[in-house]
Amino acid sequence: MHSPPYPHERFPNRRHRQARSRPFAVASVETFLTRVEETCLAAERIEGLSPATTRRWRVAARRFARYLRGTRTDAFARGDMPAQTQVIEGWIATLRMEHCERTSVAAYFEAMVSIFRRFERLDGTLNPFELLDRPRAPLPQPRCLTPSEVDRVFASARSLVADRFERARNVALIATYVCAGLRRGEALRLELADLDLERGRLLIRRGKGRHGGRDRTAYVTPQLTAFLRAYLTLRGQRRVLTPALFVSTWRDQPMPLVAVTRLFRRISASAGFLVTPHMLRHSYATFLRQAGVPDRVSMDLLGHRSLAMLQRYSHVFEGEHATYAARLHLPLGGIERDAG
């Protein structure tokens, strides 16, 4: 079957966008990267997107710019729309030939869609990435720890540090991830005023999402309460002035991200398996499902908007199949006699 040569013919419902928009054009690859940087900064300052999100945009833009330099820079830069879509298709094909994971290809493409969507809002230029079908990739199944692995994580955290304050802080931070399901940045942004141990609540400010994200409430379990009380006692003895809940061990300032990265790298080496803050969050979500917590409640606790995201946490640990299968009991009269 003949395939129409132009994107607007392949996708008739997009003709009106092409008619009212002008093609994207840029003077050079360097100018393109400059615009990307300006867009990322504006997205952080105005839309409230996290630096982690814009970091992914920058990585994707650099990969695309590298491809442009080695191929058809002029065709893409001068605003030739059919050529632009061919360049994008060539870039996707190159990523796949370089054995880039399907999830990574899809993530790069979505990042470029987001960047060019903001170009479009700013100056009305057509987003060439939206004229193509998005590369599809299955959502990766989140890695989840078993309860025994979580126990090893805590044992490793306790054994790695001799200083009482640092050890108590690290254990409390880990407990916040696995007992309350916070994201890495959410825990680091916590302030003392956000913690209400008497009512067993944590106020999560600026969760994931645009315009600073949504605030939500997390609930403090008795185990997490014990870890936090032990840490707060030692924190109070240091006369810390910063309002941050989790603080640096050598400066009166919030615990830096690099310290969290270093901590989990050491825990992974000690425990013998990879451990990340988000993996502990995944484990929390799985434990909620296994405890029979309704999905709508879990969605609120985790700060999810989509039930599809929540359903990814339907892990089954080793031995669970046999345990649940053994619960089956049918009224099969005379089975004991027949078995004898």
pLDDT for 142 equals 61
54-81, pLDDT tens digit by residue? 999 999 999 999 998 877 667 787 777 8
Out of 96, 131, 166, pick the residue that ends a domain.
Answer: 131
The total number of structural domains in the chain stands at: 2
Interatomic CA distance for residues 317 and 338, integer angstroms:
34
pLDDT for 21 equals 63
**Residue 94, domain member (yes or no):** yes
191-219 average pLDDT score: 79
Residues 198, 91 within the same domain: no
First to last CA, the chain: 68
242-295, pLDDT tens digit by residue? 999 999 998 899 999 999 999 999 999 999 999 999 999 988 888 888 888 777
pLDDT for 285 equals 85
Global pTM reads: 0.64
Interatomic CA distance for residues 216 and 189, integer angstroms:
13
pLDDT for 3 equals 43
**Residue 24, domain member (yes or no):** yes
Residues 214, 280 within the same domain: yes
pLDDT for 313 equals 56
Judge whether 231 and 112 are in contact, CB under 8 Å. no
What CATH number is attached to the domain comprising 160?
Answer: 1.10.443.10
Q: Are strands 216-219 and 195-196 parallel, antiparallel or unpaired?
A: unpaired
**Residue 95, domain member (yes or no):** yes
20-25 average pLDDT score: 74
pLDDT for 247 equals 96
Out of 97, 131, 165, pick the residue that ends a domain.
Answer: 131
Residues 60, 186 within the same domain: no
162-179 average pLDDT score: 95
In what helix (H) or strand (E) does residue 38 lie, and over which residues does it extend?
Answer: helix 29-42
Angle between helices 102-123 and 81-97 (to 10 degrees): 160
- Of the pLDDT bands very low, low, confident and very high (cuts 50, 70, 90), residue 159 is very high
**Residue 325, domain member (yes or no):** no
Interatomic CA distance for residues 155 and 151, integer angstroms:
6
Residues 46, 97 within the same domain: yes
Q: Any bridge partners for residue 64, and if so which?
A: none
Out of 102, 131, 160, pick the residue that ends a domain.
Answer: 131
CA atoms within 13 A on the CB side of 182: 28
Arithmetic mean of pLDDT over the chain: 82
**Residue 330, domain member (yes or no):** no
Residues 154, 300 within the same domain: yes
Which residue type sits at 180? Answer: A
Residues 110, 166 within the same domain: no
**Residue 138, domain member (yes or no):** no
How many CB atoms within 10 Å of residue 332? 8
Residues 161, 246 within the same domain: yes
Judge whether 231 and 171 are in contact, CB under 8 Å. yes
207-230, pLDDT tens digit by residue? 554 544 578 888 898 999 999 999
The domain of 17 spans: 7-131
Residues 40, 161 within the same domain: no
Residues 177, 209 within the same domain: yes
**Residue 335, domain member (yes or no):** no
Higher pLDDT, residue 12 or 232: 232
Residues 261, 127 within the same domain: no
Q: Are strands 216-219 and 201-204 parallel, antiparallel or unpaired?
A: antiparallel
**Residue 307, domain member (yes or no):** yes
DSSP state of 111: H
Residues 34, 111 within the same domain: yes
pLDDT for 13 equals 47
Q: Is the pLDDT of residue 298 over 90?
A: no
Residues 123, 155 within the same domain: no
Phi, psi of 260 (to 5 degrees): -65, -45
